[in-house]
Amino acid sequence: MTATAPFAKMNGLGNEILVVDLRGSSKVLSADEAMGLALNSTTRFEQLMAIHAPKPGQSAPHILIYNNDGSPAGACGNGMRCVALAEHLKTGGDTFAFETAAGVLQATVRSATDISVTMGRPRFAWADIPLSEPFNDTRHIELEIGPQGSPILHSPSVVNVGNPHCVFWVDDDVNGYDLARFGPMLEFHPLFPERANISLAQVTTRTSLTLRTWERGAGLTQACGSAACAAGVSAARLKLTDRTVTVTLPGGSLVIDWRADNEIVMTGPAILEYTGVIDLATLTPSLVTG
């Protein structure tokens, strides 16, 4: 087993991503170890993408995804673009496949600003999201924020895009709501047994949305790729938009294409900030210079 593992500190639209390559090791990070890396200023992250060797009988590298509180994530669109760019810079290749908890995801790197990742197929059934009680129509469920009879927000759409997502629709500025206050309360709402990502979305045209997200296990974020997918798909289900939309988040924009075969493709940029190695015995990071 190797004594160190290379890492790349990256970001996707301001979403802090740490990519750690553990393919030369049998090491699997625990939740506490992931939290320790998140607290280190060198390896600080919102999501950690740990790349492992393919599972027996598989050919695609296996990726475990951690939020900065140590909890697991099923999918991270910004993180997958970062992994794809890291592999592109390392190998010179343009197309990649990775196995995740959300299935095998494909990535194509055309440039650092034009990276596409398949995000799988959305799941709409209440038990697949999952919710703690049945809802026949998950395009809008009974959930309110604010005074009874006069809620500030109500009737969100819910969907699973690798992670559970709850999207509230607003007619005005998404920044006009205190998402930092009610986001954590809704993340842990009894209706969401696996917690949920909480988003505010405004439809601006048939082909565009604006979005803010409280990310499960990470908090307010500059960008959440799976939330952008969830909002794009949910808007199309409600016939508010076409199936291809540009989603503008605080950190920038992503193009979400919900294809006719039900697969979601997300396209956007990624940035490499710096690289280093992590001592696997102590989990101490050091930068690679030169």
Catalytic residue among 76, 82, 166, 229: 76
Strand partners, 281: none
Please check whether residue 12 is in contact with residue 223, taking contact to mean a CB–CB distance below 8 angstroms: yes
Among 82, 166, 224, 229, the active-site one is 224
Structure tokens that stand for 144 in this block:
């309110």
Q: Is 76 a catalytic residue?
A: yes
Query: What tokens does 1 get?
Result: 């087993």
- Residue 166 falls in the annotated catalytic set: no
Give the phi and the psi of residue 173 in degrees, each rounded to 5.
-60, 125
Would you list the DSSP string of 167-215? EEE-SS-GGGS-HHHHHHHHHT-TT-TT--EEEEEEEEETTEEEEEEEE
DSSP conformational letter for 119: -
End-to-end CA distance of the chain: 26
Residues known to be catalytic = 76, 224
